[in-house]
Structure 1
Amino acid sequence: MEFQAVIMAAGRGSHMMDLTASMPKPLLPIGNRPMIWYPVNMLQNAGFERAMIVTFESVGRDMIQAIYAAGGIKIDLEIVTIPNDEDWGAADSLRHIRDKIKTDVLVVSCDLVTNVELHLLADVHRAYDATATILLQSLKDQSAEGVPVPGTKSKRKSDQRDIIGLDDKGQRLLLLTAEADIDEALSIRTSLLRQHPYIQIKTNLKDAHMYILKKWVVDFLAENEAAKEHSTVKGELIPYLVKKQFSRPSGKGDKNEDQMDSIDPIQNNKQKDIDSYYSVNELTKTATEMSSWSEYGDSMSSASDNHIRCHTHIMQEGFCMRANTTAAYCEVNRQIVQQKLLYDDEPLTHPSASIKPKTTIGQDSMVGEGTTIGEKDSVKRSIIGKHCSIGDKVKIANSVVMDHVTIKDGCTIQGSILCGNTHINEGVELKDCIVGSSQNVPEKSKFSNEVIGDSNRMMEI
Structure 2
Amino acid sequence: MSSYEFQVIILAVDNTSAKLGPIDENLPHVMLPVANRPILSYQLEMLERSGFKSVLIVTQDYAQNRIAAYVNQVYKDQNQGKLEVEFFVLKDQNQIGTCEILYRIREKIRTNFMVITGNLIADEGFIRQMADLHRGNDSSLTMMLYPKKVATTEVKETTDSTYVDYIVLDEKTNRILQMEPATDIEDAVLVSKQMLRHFPNIVVNNNLQDAQFYVFSRWVIDLIIEEQKTKNIPITSIKKQLIPLLLQCQIPGHGKKLPATSVNRTQDLALSMSTSATPFNPSYHINQNTQDTIKCLTYLTNGYSININTIQNYTQANRDVASGQTSYKPYEAPGKNNYIDVKAQVAPTSVGADCVIGTESILGPKCSVKKSIIGKHCKFGQSVRIENAIIMDYVTIEDHCGISGSIIGNNVYIKTKSVKDSQIASGFTVSKGNALITHLLSSILTYFPTQLKSTDLKSKQISNQLD
TM-score (norm 2): 0.83
> 2:210 aligned with 1:207, yes or no?
yes
Shift in Å, 1:82? 0.5
Change (3 A) 1:49 1:160: closer
Which deviates the most, 328-337 or 61-70? 61-70
Change (3 A) 1:387 1:278: same
Residue from 101, 122, 126 that aligns with 2:109: 101
> 2:461 aligned with 1:450, yes or no?
no
Shift in Å, 1:287? 9.9
Shift in Å, 1:17? 2.8
Which residue is 1:22 aligned to? 26
| Helix, strand or coil at the partner of 1:59 | helix
> 2:300 aligned with 1:314, yes or no?
yes
> 2:122 aligned with 1:111, yes or no?
no
Residue from 165, 168, 171 that aligns with 1:168: 171
Mapped to 2, the partners of 1:326 and 1:289 lie a distance apart of: 59
TM-score (norm 1): 0.84
Q: Which amino acid is 2:327 matched to?
A: K
Residue from 239, 242, 251 that aligns with 2:247: 242
Shift in Å, 1:305? 6.1
Deviations 1:152-199 (A, max 9, x none): x9xx94444210111123611122111122233322112211121121
Mapped to 1, the partners of 2:34 and 2:463 lie a distance apart of: 26
Change (3 A) 1:287 1:40: farther
Change (3 A) 1:183 1:286: farther
Mapped to 2, the partners of 1:65 and 1:351 lie a distance apart of: 24
- Once the two structures are superposed, the pairs formed by residues 108-257 of structure 1 within 5 Å of their partners are 108-117=116-125, 118-139=127-148, 141-143=149-151, 147-148=155-156, 157-169=160-172, 171-225=174-228, 229-248=234-253
Mapped to 1, the partners of 2:91 and 2:14 lie a distance apart of: 12
- Once the two structures are superposed, the pairs formed by residues 273-312 of structure 1 within 5 Å of their partners are 273-280=257-264, 306-312=292-298
Mapped to 2, the partners of 1:17 and 1:434 lie a distance apart of: 8
| Helix, strand or coil at the partner of 1:404 | coil
Mapped to 1, the partners of 2:428 and 2:419 lie a distance apart of: 14
| Helix, strand or coil at the partner of 1:201 | strand
Which residue is 2:329 aligned to? 342
Which residue is 2:9 aligned to? 6
Residue from 407, 410, 415 that aligns with 2:397: 407
Uncovered stretches (5+) of structure 1, i.e. residues with no partner? 251-266, 268-272, 291-296
Mapped to 1, the partners of 2:413 and 2:12 lie a distance apart of: 30
Residue from 37, 42, 55 that aligns with 1:51: 55
Mapped to 1, the partners of 2:359 and 2:265 lie a distance apart of: 51
Deviations 1:216-256 (A, max 9, x none): 10121123235662211112111111111103366xxxxxx
RMSD: 3.1
Which deviates the most, 98-107 or 160-169? 160-169
Mapped to 2, the partners of 1:138 and 1:78 lie a distance apart of: 33
CA contact (8 A) 2:195 2:251 kept: yes
Which residue is 1:260 aligned to? none
Mapped to 2, the partners of 1:121 and 1:94 lie a distance apart of: 21
How many pairs were matched up? 422
Which residue is 2:430 aligned to? 441
Mapped to 1, the partners of 2:374 and 2:42 lie a distance apart of: 18
CA contact (8 A) 2:249 2:293 kept: no
CA contact (8 A) 2:340 2:358 kept: yes
Q: Which amino acid is 2:65 matched to?
A: R
Mapped to 1, the partners of 2:84 and 2:267 lie a distance apart of: 29
Which deviates the most, 339-348 or 89-98? 339-348
